[in-house]
Homo-oligomer: A and B are copies of this chain.
């Protein structure tokens, strides 16, 4: 297909596609003439992944390029390729090691992870999400709000159930590249969905407990 069709089928504007080509995030098409090239289904799949990382995930170009290399490395299994895609996502500031609340947060998070039997997100294997979790729990600790391991465990168990749903959606895609794109896009795009469902549910639960009429 020509660039115009690639743009139409992907929903990505032609100027953006040209930018991705210049940045080598997308391989060149098969050259037909000095001004025209032909693109295949592989370009379309790759383009969706690039868009998921850059546009939806706000991943910086250099980091996206690194993640793309891992996702397309056929010597890696599906798990490693999904990890390469999702670990590239921005995860906010790292924990402040000079803040005493950080040590408290690490201790509580460690208990939660042990209880759930998770193999990632330990101090030996500090994935981006683990760092994000420690930072978030430190903020609660510092302001004196409840966030001990006992408070966090029920939320961790619900997160495990969300992840089953998430991976079911990811598995509905066929190729490793499409699955990596879906993992990135669904991780990010479902965040506001889940936050607003929680806020709606809180209002219902408050009505149920405290409503007078």
CB of A120 within 8 A of CB of B204, answer: yes
CB of A202 within 8 A of CB of B189, answer: no
Question: Is A151 in the interface zone, CB < 8 Å from B?
Answer: yes
Contacting residues of chain A (45-90) with chain B, CB-CB under 8 angstroms: 56, 77-79, 82-83, 86, 89
Q: Which of B83, B136, B186 contacts A203 (CB 8 A)?
A: B83
The residues of B that contact A209 with a CB separation of less than 8 Å are 78-79, 167, 171
Question: Is A164 in the interface zone, CB < 8 Å from B?
Answer: yes
Decide if the interface of chain A is mainly helix, strand, loop or mixed: helix
Q: Please report A residues at the B interface, Cβ cutoff 8 Å.
A: 11, 56, 77-79, 82-83, 86, 89, 91-92, 113, 116, 118-121, 127-130, 132-133, 135-137, 139-140, 143-147, 151-152, 154-156, 158-167, 169-172, 182-183, 185-187, 189-207, 209-212
Q: Which of B92, B169, B191 contacts A146 (CB 8 A)?
A: B169
Q: A121-B203, A162-B201 are in contact. List 7 more A-B contacts (CB 8 A).
A: A118-B204, A127-B200, A139-B192, A160-B201, A160-B205, A167-B205, A167-B206
CB of B118 within 8 A of CB of A199, answer: no
